[in-house]
Amino acid sequence: MWPASVVYLLLGTIISRGTNALPNTAVEVPTLADAIHKIENTTTELKSLLSSRASVKLLSQSATASRTRWSSFDTPQPKYVVKVQNEQDVANVIKYCTSKDIKFLVQNGGSGWATTFNLGQNGVLIDMAQMNQFILSLDKTQATIGGGAIINETIQAAYNQGVVVVTGNCNCVGTLGALLGGGYGNLMGLYGFAIDNVISLRVVLPSGDIQTITKDNSPDLFWALRGAGPNFGVITSATVRSYNIGKARSVAWTGAVIFSSDKIEKVVSVINDLELEPEMNIFLYYSSSGPPSNTPVVLTTPFLFGGTNATGHQKFKKLYDIGPMADQTAVVSYPQFGSGADSFCIRGARKPSYGAGLSSLVPATWREIWNYYVDFQKQPGAEESIILMERYSLAKARSIPSDSAAFPYRSIGFNAVAISWYTDPALDGAARAFGSKTRDAWRRTDGFAANSTYVNFAYGDEEPSVVYGTSLPRLQKAKTEIDPGNVFNQWFNIK
């Protein structure tokens, strides 16, 4: 017996198809029995293609992906959830979906917030969470990371073996999802972007074939995957450089340094002008102080790899000279580098997010955005909303040729994003207005000739040129050669 929720879903599908028919046109409307039979067939056929530990279920049968999506705003709505076990499972599902003209989406961390997803009425979510391996080479110079790993899993596995790898910072984000967009992270001042550390990629291509892609055997695809990967295939694993520095050296000084809002202009000016050494980065937040008051505060998180309390305060002296209200910095080990942002990892809630890239920080703009933030954040239910800005040491990353990968924005000095955070859909309109006008304010003073947004921070309404920049023409050419059928079309689609 099918649950009532499934029946209602099927009836809705049938009714919607029937009412879309042209007037006076004969249309064969499927019955409920037809729809159930089709779903049963699809489920059976998909199961027959999978390994023993993989599974396929209807989302409406209480099946969920291994990881709830980070944001519930405008999320992909699959009919089937396929939990794959290995890359052959992935290849088989893609071949099946392509042959049946079924839309699909691959999920690892489930943190992508863009509004570009559209799975239609029969879409498949390919859940890669079980493919989360971390395999270190005998000489500890290379690590192979599974396509289903999230950052805290990768960092913990690396730390256990005394190495570090370049990843994003947020613990709950998919390791390779962050990497494929470019890969900003705490160690990039020393080693470059995450994409700069890729040696090879295991990829399921639009045909369903599985290949190992390197700069030597497939230079155009290797280039395209590092900056626009989801448009060309499913990366089931990546082999990247690892650095054998030992656990004792895998420490950093970091934490929250909090200021009152009257210090915004001084804080912004100092962050803009700081001379960041390779071991350094700094984030700026507008956030809530927490319940019960939820007072908006200005929070910074300086970071110094290998630092101590003394050296941290020395390197960021100009920040401390402003006069913070609170200092919560400390020395932490590698697995705790991102723990200060673990509140970001709370899944669910509606979080439309609008990002922009900046060449510099303009204090007057950040005062304007503070006012926007306070007005929105004071609305009941929106207290957890956040403004975030990241600045890294970029000398190492900029020493690598700008055309070495499809990622186009080594010129961006600062990345900012406005994250509305609430549960009531009635706030959607206000959240979109807040995010949009905040992004507009950044863009007016971003210092660039054209809007330039890191693809992993983009909202979803941006033109391809905004997220792919000058790489777009070459990406379009590669797309026509590698994926002419546009099989991979869910993430800032290149056409």
What is the structure's pLDDT at 477?
A: 98
The structure's pTM equals 0.91
Q: Are 82 and 44 in contact, with CB atoms under 8 Å apart?
A: no
> Quick one: tokens of 287?
């956030």
Residue 115: alpha-carbon gap to chain centroid: 12
Query: Where is 252: in which H helix or E strand?
Result: strand 251-254
Helices and strands, number each (H, E), in the chain: 15, 18
CA distance 112 to 217: 30
CB neighbours (10 Å) of residue 227? 25
Beta carbons within 8 Å of 153's beta carbon, 6+ residues apart? 132, 134, 175
Q: Supply φ then ψ for residue 180, to 5 degrees.
A: -65, -25
For 161-164, the CB contacts below 8 A with 24+ separation are 161/136, 162/244, 162/245, 162/246, 162/247, 162/250, 163/136, 163/242, 163/243, 163/244, 163/245, 164/242, 164/243, 164/245, 164/250, 164/334
What is the structure's pLDDT at 59?
A: 73
Q: Supply φ then ψ for residue 236, to 5 degrees.
A: -85, -20
Counting every residue, how long is the chain? 495
For 30-35, the CB contacts below 8 A with 24+ separation are 32/7, 35/10
What is the structure's pLDDT at 343?
A: 86
What is the structure's pLDDT at 407?
A: 98
**Among 92, 86, 88, 93, CA closest to 132:** 86
CA–CA distances in Å: residue 148 to residues 90, 107, 238, 341, 401: 12, 8, 11, 21, 30
CA distance 89 to 96: 11
CA distance 209 to 110: 25
CA distance 183 to 195: 6
End-to-end CA distance of the chain: 43
477: left (phi over 0), alpha (psi -120 to 50) or beta: alpha
CA distance 329 to 312: 9
Pairing of strands 104-107, 80-83: unpaired
Order of strands across the sheet with 210-213?
Answer: 134-136, 142-146, 234-241, 198-204, 210-213
Buried b (16+ CB within 10 A) or exposed e, 388-419: bbbbbbbebbeeeeeebbbbbbbebbbbbbbb
Q: What is the pLDDT along the chain (495 residues), one digit of tens a residue?
A: 334 344 334 334 433 434 344 444 444 555 655 555 567 788 999 999 999 999 998 876 445 777 899 999 999 999 999 999 999 999 999 999 999 999 999 999 999 999 999 999 899 999 999 999 999 999 999 999 999 999 999 999 999 999 999 999 999 999 999 999 999 999 999 999 999 999 999 999 999 999 999 999 999 999 999 999 999 999 999 999 999 999 999 999 999 999 999 999 999 999 999 999 999 999 999 999 999 999 999 999 999 999 999 999 999 999 999 999 999 999 999 999 999 888 889 999 999 999 999 999 999 999 999 999 999 999 999 999 999 999 999 999 999 999 999 999 999 999 999 999 999 999 999 999 999 999 999 999 999 999 999 999 999 999 999 999 999 999 999 999 999 999 999 999 998
Helix, strand, or coil (residue 354): strand
Peptide bond into 464 cis (omega under 30): no
What is the structure's pLDDT at 333?
A: 98
- Locus of tokens 């270190």: 136
What is the structure's pLDDT at 21?
A: 40
